[in-house]
Amino acid sequence: MNKHKHMESSSATLTDALPPTTTTKHGSLTLHPLPLQSPLQSNANQQHQQLASNFGRIVTGIELESLESSLEPSLESRLKQLLFKHSILVFRGGASVSPRTQLALTRVFDASAPGFYGHDNNNNNNNNFNKKSVLHPDLKTIPAVPQVQLIGNGFVEEHEGLANVNLVHPHHRTFHRDVVSEDDEERGYTRFYRWHIDAALYDLSPPVATTLHAIKVPKDKWQTVRYDDGTGDELKVPLGATAFISGAQAFSILPPHHKSLAVRTRVTYAPHPYVWMSPAKSLPTGLGLYSDSLELPLDALPPFTEEKMKTLPLCWKNPETGELHLQVHPSAIYKLTIDPSPSPKEGDLYPEGATLTSLPEIRALIYSLQRPAIAPQYVYAHDWEEGDFVVFHNRGVLHSITGAFRKDQVRMFHQCNLASGSDPEGPDQEDVERFC
């Protein structure tokens, strides 16, 4: 018997400024807190879940399939407001959402999106998505709606115009340098695969929202994510849970000298980063790469131009709450540019500013900023139910696949995100004055 079965918390009255229920012609949209997961960890110092109070909501009372053709503008703006405020919206109810409707719902969160997939898989000339990319094996494009990808595990004979597809749930063995032993895997140990933001990080702007629709979800024993970084941290997760952390919480728990550094820093990502990183191997936490000089040299990459390389702030400003979210894809970083501190204080890092190009130095610094945020008490591991439709604010969270499936366990999800029409905003002058 699974003694770690999660306990669904009751629908509590929220102390939000926004009311928990909104009535629309499509029904009454009601918000519930995320389910608590208990016990959370199995390391020596069990701690209670410490998710930010705003983080994630379950939404009930809305027929998603009915929204495709007739979304009221007021509902559209309400959904956007809710997503930016809560970062993850879980629509429960077991309904089936067609790829067309999923695309329409994904567009709700970003009117600026030109309308193609976040990695522009439609454009065969875009070498960013060629066969060398570490993303290549994980995604199968739905022919009629190419912005929607089929992902999952196992053999699928026919689905939405795709035939005889072998889906592979990414296993940490293919990406981590040192792996969980087969014996330990038998005993249920696993890893976070790769903490990331869904974004091409070259040429295209990061998607605002990603939607995930669970079509087929095999249930089995829970597994234990082991951090294997000397801390003893572990996290119990349902099989195949998607792990999320809040970028706002990641920023808020930083000490002042790290906040100052984060606000002053911009990240330049490698050209064609998923090709560039393809030979490199991950740390056991899935939070960035070892610096073993394995990345492809720039002259071995598909053609690129410097103008198309992405330089983005380390902190992205939430358009609804004004909070700063620590948002960085740790495996794709190439260079850091740090502005000088406007009013240097004792303990400030790089008070005079700096340009960092040494990968070991960059990665150690970014790891020290991000590692606190993936501590077990800050991770929400979503326990998928068939029919779940999850929207996450891709500019406000980091996420990771977890777990390992057997070949015969068939899992099917539809995933959609859209390259945005513009890059995320960074800290404003007020933030600089407040944190630096």
Among 164-172, 194-202, 313-321, 344-352, the segment contacting Fe ion (CB under 5 A)? 194-202
Residue 121 interacts with Fe ion (CB under 5 A)? no
> Which of 16-24, 197-205, 226-234, 315-323 is the region at the interface with Fe ion (rule: CB under 5 A)?
197-205
By beta-carbon proximity to Fe ion, the closer residue of 198 and 228 is 198
Indicate the residue among 271 and 286 with the shorter CB distance to Fe ion. Answer: 286
CA distance 283 to 281: 7
For Fe ion, which is the closer residue by CB, 108 or 197?
A: 197
| Minimum CB distance to Fe ion, residue 355 (Å) | 30
Per CB under 5 A, does 295 bind Fe ion?
no
Q: Given the complex with Fe ion, which of 207 and 238 has the nearer CB atom?
A: 207
Q: Which is nearer to Fe ion, 260 or 282 (CB)?
A: 282
Nearer to Fe ion, 140 or 257 (CB): 140
Residue 242 φ/ψ, nearest 5 degrees: -90, 125
Per-residue 3-state assignment (H helix, E strand, C coil) for the chain: CCCCCCECCCCCCCCCCCCCEEEECCEEEEEEECCECCCCCCCCCCCCCCCCCCCCEEEECCCHHHHCCCCCHHHHHHHHHHHHHHCEEEECCCCCCCHHHHHHHHHHCCCCCCCCECCCCCCCCCHHHCCCCCCHHHCEECCCCCCEEEEEEEEEEEECCEEEEEECCCCHHHCECCCCCHHHHHCCEECECCCECCCCCECCECCCEEEEEEEECCCCCCEEEECCCCCCCEEEECCCCEEEEEHHHHHHCCCHHHHHHHHHEEEEECCCHHHHCCCCCECCCCCCECCCCCCCCHHHCCCCCHHHECEEECEEECCCCCCEEECCCCCCEEEEEECCCCCCCCCCCCCCCEEECCHHHHHHHHHHHHHHHHCHHHCEEECCCCCCEEEEECCCEEEEEECCCCCCCCEEEEEEEECECCCCCCCCHHHHHHHC
Least distance to Fe ion, CB of residue 60, Å: 25
Q: How far is the CB of 198 from Fe ion (least distance, A)?
A: 4
- Told to check if 208 binds Fe ion by CB under 5 A, we report no
Residue 87 or 265: the one with the smaller Cβ distance to Fe ion is 87
What's the closest the beta carbon of residue 212 comes to Fe ion, in angstroms?
9
Q: State in angstroms the smallest separation of the CB of 119 from Fe ion.
A: 10
Cβ-based nearer residue to Fe ion, 205 or 260: 205
Min separation Cβ 434 and Fe ion, Å: 31
Contact between 198 and Fe ion per CB under 5 A? yes
Specify the residue, 193 or 276, whose C-beta has the smaller distance to Fe ion. 193
The minimum distance between CB 131 and Fe ion, in angstroms, equals 19
Taking the complex as a whole, how short is the minimal distance between the CB of residue 157 and Fe ion, in angstroms?
A: 26
Residue 254's identity, in one-letter code, is L
Is residue 330 reached through a cis peptide bond, with omega within 30 degrees of 0 on the bond before it?
A: no
Does residue 390 interact with Fe ion by CB under 5 A?
Answer: no
Site string for Fe ion, 152-191 (x = CB under 5 A): ----------------------------------------
Q: In the bound complex, which residue of the shown chain has the CB atom lying closest to Fe ion? A: 198
Q: Considering the rule CB under 5 A, would residue 416 count as an interface residue with Fe ion? A: no
Give least dist CB 65 to Fe ion, A: 24
Nearer of residues 121 and 260 to Fe ion, judged by Cβ: 121
Specify whether the CB–CB gap between 392 and 244 falls below 8 A: yes
Give the nearest distance from C-beta 186 to Fe ion in angstroms.
27
Residues of this chain, 311-330, that bind Fe ion according to CB under 5 A: none
Q: Which residues bind Fe ion (CB under 5 A)?
A: 198
